[in-house]
Amino acid sequence: MKLENPNSFRTGPDERGHFGIFGGRFVAETLMPLILDLERHYEAAKKDPAFHAELNNLLTHYVGRPSPLYFAERLTEYLGGAKIYFKREELNHTGAHKINNVLGQILLARRMGKTRIIAETGAGQHGVATATACARFGLECIVYMGAVDVERQKPNVFRMNMLGAKVVPVQSGARTLKDAMNEALRDWVTNVEDTFYCIGTAAGPHPYPAMVRDFQCIIGEETRKQMLAAEGRLPDSLFACIGGGSNAIGLFHPFLDDRQIEIYGVEAAGYGLDKAHAASLAGGRPGVLHGNRTYLLMDADGQIEEGHSISAGLDYPGIGPEHSWLKETGRVTYLSATDDEALAAFQLCARQEGIIPALEPAHALARVIEIAPTKPREHLLVVNISGRGDKDIFTVAEHLGGM
Amino acid sequence: MTTRIDSRFAELAREGRAALVTFIMGGDPDLETTLALLKALPAAGADVIELGMPFTDPMADGPAIQAAGLRALATHTTLAKVLKLAAEFRKADTATPLILMGYYNPIYVYGVPRFLTDAKAAGVDGVIVVDLPPEEDSELCLPAQEAGLAFIRLATPTTDDARLPTVLAHTAGFVYYVSITGITGAATPDYSKVAAAVARLKRHTALPVAVGFGVKNAENAAAIAKVADGVVVGSALVDALRKSLDANGHATAGSVAAVTDLVREIAAGVRSAAHQPA
């Protein structure tokens, strides 16, 4: 299915929350009044200079923005092609891009008078960001996390506990991110009165995909300015990893209408696309889950299948609906990288640049390593280093034999 | 159109009592057991039957129904097989309204037109799809209406007066009032609030109002039957079935009776209640 190319790729979603056939609002009736209320509050906040002033102040002085755009000189030399820049989201407070979105949503929750915040987390980065913002504003915080992820991402569990959040290990299903999201939705259905659901990626029922994207667009907006300052022109290509896809849509969106720019999203191919993986676009079909229509990993009967990735942040069987639409319009090229390729990229980045990336952006780096050498030296390439690898050192050590 | 659902509620209103609406999961723990249950439920006192279509990710259901769905999927239950089950039931029972209940994705993947055709042919009377609010009516609700299947909508304590007309606009058969904000099988509702809620709904619709979530025994059922046109019981039945299974999760000789005994008890509660809906 190939959708018609619009005049602008930046106008979505429509008023019903649709990006083409994707997106929408597929939730239980209990949640609908709340979601409509959230949409009203978000629309009002968007127009309120005070909201932006407070958010920008926090982003500058609390998160540490703007994050640098760093010329990866040694990696560029090593690969011998495109000039590679890193957008350093891993330098943000809490170690990833997640905090950009969380602060926006928490300010919104405060405007709505909500006192209890719930979140789901896979790798723990979104959980840590939410726990951090809740501590900062004195809000109760409950984080749902698959029991498997609680085990493999212990450093982040400790962090959340230290920040005063309650981490609830989810025992249902495959006990990973998908199940954590189900459990968070159940909590929300039960506690609609005082609870705000802080979703960690650009997915879920409208307005979440658009709202999370808007909060993450600061990544791409800064990149534009920084690249113009550094090189006097816009980049030629952009790379980002995709689980739900919030770091990617944040980087991509401000560039979508610059059609000469090549844009690449990289999904997790796990053990390989013919084996267990988490590449919803490469290996899935359109379906409806967690409040939106999007590409999903599922069987012939529409039952959701588990994703697999070495990266707990990418093993979600779905993807943000805007990415599904960008795939079908052909504006963004979606690739994938296996666990092994990500591990190799992780090591190369650490050794060449002295930067230990999270396993998530290591997937994007894996494709950069392949594509950069095919480009001329004047080609300006930006890869979003969406998080740092501290949380992954045990996983990596296990795979590489203890190091 | 008058469906079996309309006739059944009208008939019970004449008798002066509420309907007992029973939920079981299709394929839990296997298709044979479900068929035996379907056949036994009307005699045990079920006036309307909801048959669950299992889904891996039932976001609005509690642990009991979620586990039932996973048991059904473990024995390779599919939507096609649940539709066949409905057709089998209908061969022997032409009067009891049968409603399919579940989530949208399996239906979307099966194909909406094909689903409606097959459901209608199987003798299904209505559908409840938890994750399709009125905002997504064009997906299934309107096509179902056209196909002659009732699309039964859930109303909840969060559905305020401003929103109720939207929720009720294309609802048919009956309105399913979810008496608590929460997942299935959760807390017992506050009955005084239920009466007020039913009265509120009745100001907006002429449809019967059935109340569910939190009904575990005859006493709960009687309290609701007093003020509503129907009492829905699901998690308690699914739990009774689970307790009857052997160590490997297989049905035993006592499985069907475990459910029908509870249905008999709850039906007695429903029938004992003086029916005085607002």
Neighbours of A15 (CB within 10 A): 7
Q: Are strands A291-296 and A285-289 parallel, antiparallel or unpaired?
A: antiparallel
**CB-based contact, A161 to chain B, within 8 Å:** no
- Cβ–Cβ pairs < 8 A, chains A and B: 117
The reported pLDDT for the residue numbered A403 is: 56
A398 is catalytic: no
Question: Residues with Cβ < 8 Å from A56, sequence gap 6 or more?
Answer: none
For chain B, the distance separating the N- and C-terminal CA atoms, rounded to the nearest angstrom, is 26
Question: Residues with Cβ < 8 Å from A291, sequence gap 6 or more?
Answer: A24, A25, A26, A27, A185, A203, A204, A205, A208, B131
B158 contacts A192? CB cut-off 8 A:
yes
* Strand boundaries in A165-318, DSSP class E: 166-170, 195-197, 237-241, 262-270, 285-289, 291-296
SS3 (DSSP) at A355: coil
The rounded distance, in Å, linking the Cα atoms of A377 and A403 is: 35
SS3 (DSSP) at A113: coil
ipTM: 0.94
Q: Render B147-190 in DSSP notation, one character per residue.
A: HT-EEPPEE-TT--TTTHHHHHTT--S-EEEE-SSS-TT-PPP-
**CB-based contact, B181 to chain A, within 8 Å:** yes
**CB-based contact, B164 to chain A, within 8 Å:** no
- A300: closest CA of chain B, how far (Å): 8
Which residues 275-334 of chain A have a CB within 8 Å of chain B? 285, 287-291, 293, 296, 298, 300-304
Contacts of A288 in chain B (CB under 8 A): 103-105, 108, 131
The rounded distance, in Å, linking the Cα atoms of A170 and B244 is: 26
SS3 (DSSP) at A397: helix
Domain A18-60+98-207 part of CATH 3.20.20.80: no
The rounded distance, in Å, linking the Cα atoms of A332 and A326 is: 6
B62 contacts A30? CB cut-off 8 A:
no
Closest alpha carbon within chain B to A294: B105
What is the per-residue burial (b if ≥16 Cβ within 10 Å, else e) of B95-130?
A: ebbbbbbbbbbbbbbbeeeebbebbeebbbbbbbbb
Q: Rg (Cα) of chain A, in Å, rounded?
A: 19
B56 contacts A303? CB cut-off 8 A:
yes
**CB-based contact, A37 to chain B, within 8 Å:** no
B167 contacts A24? CB cut-off 8 A:
no
Domains of chain B by start residue, with CATH = 4-272 (3.20.20.70)
Statement: residue A318 has pLDDT above 90 = yes
**CB-based contact, A34 to chain B, within 8 Å:** yes
Q: What angle do CA B56, A197, A39 make, to 5 degrees?
A: 105
The rounded distance, in Å, linking the Cα atoms of A334 and A275 is: 18
Contact present, A390 and A155 (Cβ < 8 Å): yes
The rounded distance, in Å, linking the Cα atoms of A139 and A165 is: 9
Question: % helix / strand / coil in chain B, to the nearest 5?
Answer: 45, 15, 40
Structure tokens at A249: 């849509």
Closest alpha carbon within chain A to B60: A186
Angle between helices A208-216 and A321-329 (to 10 degrees): 80
Statement: residue A394 has pLDDT above 90 = no
Structure tokens at A280: 């919803």
Q: Same CATH topology for A18-60+98-207 and A67-95+217-400?
A: yes
- pLDDT for A262-298, tens place per residue? 999 999 999 999 999 999 999 999 999 999 999 999 9
Residue B274 is classified by DSSP as -
Q: Rg (Cα) of chain B, in Å, rounded?
A: 17
- pLDDT for A156-172, tens place per residue? 999 999 999 999 999 98
**CB-based contact, A205 to chain B, within 8 Å:** no
B181 contacts A190? CB cut-off 8 A:
yes
**CB-based contact, B136 to chain A, within 8 Å:** yes
Q: Render A219-261 in DSSP notation, one character per residue.
A: HHHHHHHHHHHHHSS--SEEEEE-SS-HHHHHHHGGGTT-TTS
B50 is catalytic: yes
CATH number listed for the domain at residues A67-95+217-400: 3.40.50.1100
CB-nearest partner of A287 from B63, B109, B157 = B109
Report the range of poorest mean pLDDT among A38-42, A180-184, A277-281.
Answer: A180-184
- A54: closest CA of chain B, how far (Å): 31
Contacts of A29 in chain B (CB under 8 A): 133, 153-156, 158-159, 167, 178
Domain residue ranges in chain A: 18-60+98-207, 67-95+217-400
Catalytic residue of the set B28, B30, B47, B61: B61
Q: Hey, what amino acid is at A291?
A: G
The rounded distance, in Å, linking the Cα atoms of A299 and A301 is: 5
CB-nearest partner of B131 from A27, A178, A193 = A27
Give pLDDT tens digits along chain B (278 positions): 678 999 999 999 999 999 999 999 999 999 999 999 999 999 999 999 999 999 999 988 888 999 999 999 999 999 999 999 999 999 999 999 999 999 999 999 999 999 999 999 999 999 999 999 999 999 999 999 999 999 999 999 889 899 999 999 999 999 999 887 777 666 677 778 899 999 999 999 999 999 987 889 999 999 999 999 999 999 999 999 999 999 999 999 999 999 999 999 999 999 998 766 65
SS3 (DSSP) at B133: coil
B105 contacts A28? CB cut-off 8 A:
no
What is the per-residue burial (b if ≥16 Cβ within 10 Å, else e) of A98-112?
A: bbbbbbbbbbbbebb
